[in-house]
Chain A
């Protein structure tokens, strides 16, 4: 084309990135990949195909692992664990550094390979996926050296089974492997069967970096292979990123196994625009929120909430912007959107779009040029959607935005939180007061103010509610790969029996600040006393009381909570004579209450040192309602320790007393009642442990469960799968840091600056 012709109409030509090095690499491997186990390739198992979703072309054949190969991989990881976990921090750091550096040195090759295997545009793999993957290794290289100073009393967990999704294959691999290795764990990882190739390239990088054989093992396959990993008895930890449905299944299957579990699941993240937002910037933010990676992002800002007064002008701007998005060959450097992962995924998304239309939503797609074949979809807007529409509730995982309106900030928060998910949120307002107020009240693990989809190895990422638990990135992410060593003191040995009484004592449940009889009207005999026989309805009442109370309790200032706990300590000592526990233990319990009172206003959050112009606040927020299953001993000390730690950090507590040693809990209820602990903040249930623990764990308004009895761990973990509440199977020997960690979850708030 001559310059004169070019001048007639200004536009974008094609700017393809070359794929020849990837073709050579595939040819070098003869188009077939096996598993990377113990530092060698294992070519075993049935073959499946991995294709380029943009063209449908076959890229490679890949072996699928069955139990034999998974066993082999786990054996390799077990074999490597002792040495790797004992390797000096600096030596682990050197290897992690190499992994990061080699990724950087092969950046373009990896970017092209990822784009081919996944369908995402080269612009994103080149500028986001690959650089961030490298950053995760170099960041965590540092942690392996300074781990001990920040996490005293913690050690590596063991063999980690990791299962990752197809939307960010290399990046998710890095998010999983880097912290695991930094903490001294070994790994068996399964890439998604739709996009396994960058993991294969990573295997070669491990070898080049000098990672000892068996520290990282990569097995390929589909859900069956994943299940083999999840259920493998020699794997101590499962880390999963994927759908909420599969996460729930994994929770059930690992219940009672003693495996540690972290889940990073689905989302339906709100993108909230206030009238005082920079609307043009918000439009650009929205493009990054929902059309980044074709919307195949767990934290995609897929629910647009616009203030009613600006809705029509905002949507007009949005449609104009959507008309400029370029959909096309993923290897074209000037393309905004590539292909979806597969024809099936495209079909699924199309069905949801039709569902949105049939439920009254207005579906709009720009008439942009589209490739004729391949799993492509245009950017899609469904406006006029109600919270009750299917498309407003379900995760679509495609380039589809739904829009709703709100009237006030309070309503925006209410609509934003009106979902089982809680992964991320984006808030747009130039008014700092409004933005921070909304950020504070959103139930989401990450909140981006006037920005969206920002990630860094130095800041934790993970969910609230059914978006999962555990964090990836930052110091909070390391917790997911460390196991607490136990404290020295064993409180479980102690038991207290009722003291002889002059007048008969009526033990009652304590719910909503009242001593009440159990719903059943029955009691059970324990050590010669009649103890209230709680049931499902008592659980319901207690949860209702705790839910209501927790809203106000978390808003109370930390110094106020601190003072109330100090007063509780005071009253414990005052009541010492009448309590079942020996006075020495009461004094120790008072000391314990005092200690948590101290923590109440000292468990500060962090400001993460992320690159770019952001203040990234890691705020520690209470869960809300924590149900605790008492240890068998039922000792006053254990009750005070657990209850006060949860209360100190702003949670309401439902205490299920020990079935066999319930008396100290009833004593504590008396003290709670006179210590200014607001009604409903601490509730007491008694009765048969197993059914009541199950009821508490399944109740969807209970936000977390602590279980101090291993015997009911399985039922607690299994029942928790309903709303995917985190569970803590704890021993009486747990150290303070563990109580602190399980009383809060981290919300990262990204605040950009610049004028």
Chain B
């Protein structure tokens, strides 16, 4: 999971709370009841805007949790190209391990695949050693065909992950879109031997929803694609529902939402 906050009213304190939840996602009594090490089950990354990187970096220092920043004029990607590249470099310099970029939807909508390829390739270069996740904003692409074509273009241009949505589109991660993307990943792997990761984001709030996506990965791509190096769910509220289900598993009764500490 990429535990995420991407709101205009984010503040350092808000981000600190989120990071604390990332460090301690399972409250102590629950961890004890389940006989598990509470530090072992943590999100793979915390995902924030560039301005919040510093706070997050401090909070997560030494935890092993990666630091991810959304970039390139998120969520629309319509700032000047040079600014977008500079934004990536700034975030990498600020300590981001992973960069979530948005693609120019107009390139996909106009069938300008070479332009999209060049754009993502430039993003890739700007990332340096940082991981690159390309957000397709599938809710704005209109057809599954375009989603598949855009996925393949991003993978060819060097993306480490393809990601469905910013969370800001009207329609975010849906299973049909996910299917089109993971099958593109499979095609790309079968053709080139490169394993590309997948990140659905937006609207995944319940543990049950997250299982749908996990099963999708397991069935279409196999077990290794269910691990964090190839699969992430971008979410904020999901973590509490998972904790709630663990609570039910541990204590045999349905837990109220207020029993789980908020991020």
A and B bind = yes
Chain B contacts for A755, CB-based, 8 A: 142-145
B212 within 8 Å of A (CB atoms): no
Which residues of A have CB within 8 Å of B134?
Answer: none
Q: Which of B34, B142, B143, B219 touches A2 (beta carbons < 8 Å)?
A: B34
Residues on B with beta carbons closer than 8 Å to the beta carbon of A280: 183, 186
Expressed in whole angstroms, the minimum distance between the Cβ of A280 and any Cβ of chain B is 5
Query: Is A503 interfacial (CB-CB < 8 Å)?
Result: no
Q: Which of A3, A9, A324 contacts B36 (CB 8 A)?
A: A3
A10 within 8 A of B: yes
A4 at the interface (CB under 8 A from B): yes
Near A by CB (< 8 A), chain B positions 214-248 give 214, 218-219, 223, 226, 246
Q: Which residues of B14-51 have CB atoms within 8 Å of chain A's CB atoms?
A: 34-36, 40
For B144, the chain A residues whose CB sits under 8 A away are: 754-755
Q: Given A10-B223, A755-B144, A755-B145, check contact A2 B183 (CB 8 Å).
A: no
Q: Are A10 and B226 touching (Cβ within 8 A)?
A: yes
A9: nearest residue on chain B (CB-CB)?
A: B223
* Contact B143 A3, beta carbon cutoff 8 Å: no
Question: A755: nearest residue on chain B (CB-CB)?
Answer: B143
A3 and B142 within 8 A (CB) = no
For B35, list chain A residues within 8 Å (CB).
2, 4
In the complex the two chains form, what is the Cα distance from A755 to B214 in whole Å? 24
B182-224: contact bitstring with A at CB < 8 Å (1 yes, 0 no)? 0100100000000000000000000000000010001100010
The range of chain A's interface size is: under 10
Q: Which residues of B contact A2 (CB under 8 A)?
A: 34-36
- Please report the C-alpha to C-alpha distance between residue A348 and residue B35 in the assembled complex, in whole angstroms: 52
Interface 0/1 of A734-755, CB less than 8 Å to B: 0000000000000000000011
Q: Which residue of chain A is the closest to B219 with respect to CB atoms?
A: A324
Interface on chain A toward B: helix, strand, loop, or mixed SS? loop
In the bound complex, what is the Cα–Cα distance between A12 and B3 (angstroms)?
Answer: 26
State in angstroms the CA–CA spacing of A40 and B226 once bound together: 57
Closest B residue by C-beta to A321 = B219
**Chain B residues closer than 8 Å to A3, beta-carbon distance:** 34, 36, 246
With contacts A10-B218, A280-B183, A324-B219 taken as known, whether A4 is within 8 angstroms of B36 at the C-beta atoms is yes
Residues of B within 8 A of A754 (CB): 144
A429 to chain B, nearest CB (A): 15
Chain A, 173-200, contact with B by CB distance < 8 Å: what is the 0/1 string? 0000000000000000000000000000
CA distance A3 to B145 in the complex (A): 39
- A2-17 contacts to B (CB < 8 Å): 2-4, 9-10
Q: Residues of B contacting A324 with CB < 8 Å?
A: 219
> From residue A216, how far is it (CB to closest CB) to chain B in Å?
41
The distance in angstroms between the C-alpha atoms of A395 and B95, with both chains bound, is 65
Min CB–CB distance B74 → chain A (angstroms): 27
- The minimal Cβ–Cβ distance linking A511 to chain B, given in whole angstroms, is 54
1/0 per position for A247-287, CB-CB distance to B under 8 A? 00000000000000000000000000000000010000000
C-alpha gap A167/B142 in the complex (Å) = 41
Q: How far is the CA of A151 from the CA of B142 in the complex (A)?
A: 44
> What is the CB-to-nearest-CB distance from A368 to chain B, in angstroms, rounded to a whole number?
14
Note all chain A residues with C-beta closer than 8 A to B183: 280
| Nearest CB of chain B from residue A660's CB, rounded to whole Å | 68
A2 to B37, CA, bound (A): 12
Binary contact readout B116-155 vs A (1 if CB under 8 angstroms, 0 otherwise): 0000000000000000000000000011110000000000
User: From B146, which residue of chain A is reached at the shortest CB distance?
Assistant: A755
When distances are taken between beta carbons in the complex, the residues of chain A under 8 Å from B223 are 9-10
In the assembled complex, the Cα of A9 lies from the Cα of B222 at a distance in Å of 12
Chain B residues with CB under 8 Å of A4's CB are 35-36, 40
B23 CB, nearest partner CB in chain A, Å: 19
Listed residue (B36, B142, B226) with the most chain A CB atoms within 10 angstroms of its CB: B36
Chain A residues near B218 (CB-CB < 8 A) = 10
Q: Which of A705-755 contact B (CB under 8 A)?
A: 754-755
In the complex, which residues of chain A have a beta carbon less than 8 angstroms from the beta carbon of B246?
3
Cβ–Cβ < 8 Å partners of B142 in chain A:
755
Q: From B220, which residue of chain A is reached at the shortest CB distance?
A: A280
Binary per-residue interface labels of chain A (3-37) against chain B in the complex, 1 for a CB within 8 Å, 0 otherwise: 11000011000000000000000000000000000
Nearest chain B CB to A232 CB, angstrom units = 51
Looking at the assembled complex, report how far the CB atom of B116 sits from the nearest CB atom of chain A, in whole angstroms: 20
- In the complex, residue of chain A having the shortest beta-carbon distance to the beta carbon of B249: A3
Docked CA distance A754–B177 (Å): 12
| Shortest CB distance B175–A (Å) | 13
- Smallest distance from the beta carbon of A285 to chain B beta carbons, Å? 14
With the chains together, A10 CA to B221 CA distance in Å?
Answer: 13
Chain A residues with CB under 8 Å of B34's CB are 2-3
Once bound together, how far apart are the Cα atoms of A280 and B186, in whole Å?
10
Q: How far is the CA of A3 from the CA of B247 in the complex (A)?
A: 12
Q: How far is the CA of A79 from the CA of B256 in the complex (A)?
A: 61
Q: Using CB atoms and an 8 Å cutoff, list the residues of chain B in contact with chain A.
A: 34-36, 40, 142-145, 183, 186, 214, 218-219, 223, 226, 246
**Contacts A/B (CB < 8 Å), 6 sampled:** A2-B34, A3-B36, A4-B35, A10-B226, A280-B186, A755-B142
The 8 closest A-B pairs by CB, nearest first: A755-B143, A280-B183, A10-B226, A10-B223, A3-B36, A3-B34, A4-B36, A2-B35
Taking A2-B36, A3-B34, A3-B246 as known contacts, 19 extra A-B pairs with beta carbons closer than 8 A to each other, sorted by chain A number, are: A2-B34, A2-B35, A3-B36, A4-B35, A4-B36, A4-B40, A9-B223, A10-B214, A10-B218, A10-B223, A10-B226, A280-B183, A280-B186, A324-B219, A754-B144, A755-B142, A755-B143, A755-B144, A755-B145
